[in-house]
Structure 1
Amino acid sequence: MSPTYENIVSWVEDIKERNHSSAAALTVIKDNKIVFEHYCGFHSNTNNSRPINENSRFNVASARKSYLGLCIAFALYEGKIHSLDDYASDHFHEIDRDTFGNTTLRHMVTHTHGLDETSEGEIIREFDPGEKWAYRGMNIKLMAQLIHEIYGRPFPEFLYQKVFLPMGLKRTWWETEDNDDLVKVIVDPNKIAKDTTGSAEDGMESNLFVSSLEFALWGNLFLNQGKFNGKQIVPQEVIELAVSILTPDHLAKEFPRNGMFWFVHDIPRELSELGDRVPRGSFQILGVTGPTLLVIPKYNVVVAKMYNKRYNYGNDDYLYYLKEFGNIVADNFRIKKSEESYD
């Protein structure tokens, strides 16, 4: 194993064992080349389960937000949405305007909207828009509905034509039926892992499955500002919208900063998932089942990490482990860059 990746693999394997994930995968793209792949474990925690390989596809959970975010950026670029500072109530007419108040689309895509949804489907307000930051799911549902209305089709279909087809992605989709390549998700280590396919392919459910390599290629598309194999398949302005900091300026310093759902690093922040040693301008997306996609433009590197265990890091140390992954990756490439400069 190359010393460049030894620390990263060691960390990934350690977390896999400590958190009872049955599977892990790691893909590194550097300077637009796939320089490292690592696969270990099994598709489930049952006997005779299939070994993980390059075809294995993981449920990426909340990381699917980055796919929806690109569609929102397209809608802004194409003038289908006038502005991120449009009031949400102007777009979601079925919801009481008083509930939305001064909530804007900017609040919706940066997790600063302050809204939540009860188990009965009632939308409630937790805090005033822009006052705090909270990771909730109702903004994703509403924005997915908006993109469907704007383009007349679910956002996965829009992405398939605009992005997946030109890139040749064949292991990225919202699955409704189980198949041999799909990795099961462990909720309780003492119970059999679950089939997490969904009932529809419309992007409204958490049933997006992606291979580690195609997850990394997704990140590399953003790193290259919309180019793939030298061809501009997504306008550069769309990518810039997706991964620029869009969070309201007055949000308290300790909260994360976001683009179109991506976490974007500027300065070390107490409640951010990005490590303090990760270079400014880096961006990341992650999911509750363990996937993390980290893009570091300064080092021209993309790292995709996969697990199949919900709540991989527990509660108390959640942020520490997320930050530490980024810090280890950044340290490795910082050292490598220094060595290359010395040579």
Structure 2
Amino acid sequence: MTVSFEKVRNSVENTFHTLDCTGAALILFHNNEMQVEQYWGRQSNKENARSIQADTKFHLASCRKSYIAFAVAFAIFHGYIQSIDDEISLYLAPEQQKEVFKGITIRHLVTHSHGLAYINGEDIRTFAPGTNWAYRGRNIELIAAIIQFATKRNIADIVNEEVFKPLNLTETNWYSELDETFAEVIREQNGKFWSVSSNIDGSQMNMYASAREFAQWGLLHLNAGKYNGKQLIQPEILKLATTIHSPSFPTPNLPENGFMWYVKGSERKRSEIGALVPKGAFQILGYTTVTLLVIPSEKIVAVRAFNSFGSPEGYDYLEDVRSFGDSIMVEVTFSPES
């Protein structure tokens, strides 16, 4: 008897009805077999909007950082970056050097422990590197510059050549133009945030993917770089990206990160991974509430996707995303096959 994953379906549907969005998707693989493929709603709130379907592309928001993580791990594996404990100044052009960057390492950038904030056009330090955790975008801008300087290639070039082409992914990328297959991010006011950018070098927030291809990205991690029986990516690269690299924080409540990925180690109050999800799992979450969760011990890959701009009033995104992972574990743990 197979697992129905009905609780997972209900979890995603409840989130769909809670968020300010018009569409949702759920893809779930168990033991490398697709168990759930379900779509809700439409791609926008316009009249006669296209229904959410297999090729619908969702805005990944911060989920794009899982691909940026790959580019960093690729650069380290191939020796372009010698160590994650190297100071970032070693990999920045002279005109990009700043005194405030002193003491900040690659490790600090990829684990959100760098302490930088970019305010009024200036970099300031809000805490000493490695002593605290803060989720800010400045690290991605610096990582993009470091990758370019170290490898002479941009993030998108690396990911396209090393991942998208070998896997034949055609519904995932940084896009400068949108067509009828893209879900519109629903927000109260139209603004410049997340508008289409002509810059597709991998440093911008204009990345989209279909839920099914985002799940393929998760499967690649689950299977240590193998796809259809072929080793397409060195397993060491993916392991490097999804192993905990966070420094030893003074408080045990701060999240544990690999290269941007949240990784389940010990229980952390500010982690986005559910309490029932076992150690070794890793997850990435975007502002649009798109989520990819990989649970290696259970051979689970799960993607939920929405086209929401952030969280409505009263919505606890941490509680919601934790319940997504926990609903999966309840089904797997208490299924007749377990």
TM-score of the pair, normalised by structure 1: 0.93
In 2, Cα distance between equivalents of 1:141 and 1:42:
33
Report the Cα offset of residue 287 of structure 1.
Answer: 0.3
Residue identity matched to 2:204: E
- For residues 39-50 of structure 1, the aligned pairs below 5 Å read 39-50=39-50
Report the Cα offset of residue 101 of structure 1.
Answer: 2.6
Does residue 280 of structure 2 align to residue 281 of structure 1?
A: yes
Report the Cα offset of residue 322 of structure 1.
Answer: 1.7
- The number of residue pairs the alignment matches comes to 335
Task: Tell me what 1:340 maps to.
Answer: 337
In 1, Cα distance between equivalents of 2:60 and 2:43:
14
Report the Cα offset of residue 15 of structure 1.
Answer: 1.3
Task: Tell me what 1:53 maps to.
Answer: 53
CA distance 1:37–1:269, shift in 2 (3 Å): same
Does residue 293 of structure 2 align to residue 319 of structure 1?
A: no
Task: Tell me what 1:232 maps to.
Answer: 231
Does residue 24 of structure 2 align to residue 27 of structure 1?
A: no
CA distance 1:81–1:3, shift in 2 (3 Å): closer
Task: Tell me what 1:113 maps to.
Answer: 114
Task: Tell me what 1:241 maps to.
Answer: 240
CA distance 1:280–1:86, shift in 2 (3 Å): same
Is the 1:184–1:195 Cα contact (8 Å) retained in structure 2?
no
Residue identity matched to 1:106: R
Task: Tell me what 2:299 maps to.
Answer: 300
Please list the CA deviations of residues 236-288 of structure 1 after superposition, one character each: whole Å capped at 9, or x if unmatched: 11111000001012452100000010000012210010111111100000100
Residue identity matched to 1:340: E
- For residues 150-229 of structure 1, the aligned pairs below 5 Å read 150-188=150-188, 196-229=195-228
Task: Tell me what 2:141 maps to.
Answer: 141
Report the Cα offset of residue 97 of structure 1.
Answer: 4.2
Task: Tell me what 1:9 maps to.
Answer: 9
Residue identity matched to 1:31: N
Where structure 2 has 5 or more consecutive residues not aligned to the other structure, the ranges are: none
TM-score of the pair, normalised by structure 2: 0.94
Highest relative contact order (Cα 8 Å, sep 6+), 1 or 2?
2
In 1, Cα distance between equivalents of 2:138 and 2:314:
22
Report the Cα offset of residue 149 of structure 1.
Answer: 2.4
Residue identity matched to 2:10: S
Task: Tell me what 1:132 maps to.
Answer: 132
Q: Which runs of 4+ in 1 moved over 6 A?
A: none
Where structure 1 has 5 or more consecutive residues not aligned to the other structure, the ranges are: none
Residue identity matched to 1:45: N
Is the 1:58–1:183 Cα contact (8 Å) retained in structure 2?
yes
Please list the CA deviations of residues 187-227 of structure 1 after superposition, one character each: whole Å capped at 9, or x if unmatched: 22x879x9843222111211111000000110111111111
CA distance 1:297–1:3, shift in 2 (3 Å): closer
Is the 2:289–2:306 Cα contact (8 Å) retained in structure 1?
yes
In 2, Cα distance between equivalents of 1:44 and 1:223:
32
In 1, Cα distance between equivalents of 2:314 and 2:215:
27
Does residue 100 of structure 2 align to residue 99 of structure 1?
A: yes
Name the Cα RMSD after superposition. 1.9
Between the aligned residues of both structures, percent identity stands at 38
SS in 2 for 1:276: coil
Report the Cα offset of residue 162 of structure 1.
Answer: 1.0
Report the Cα offset of residue 20 of structure 1.
Answer: 2.2
In 2, Cα distance between equivalents of 1:201 and 1:250:
35
CA distance 1:260–1:30, shift in 2 (3 Å): same
Report the Cα offset of residue 95 of structure 1.
Answer: 4.2
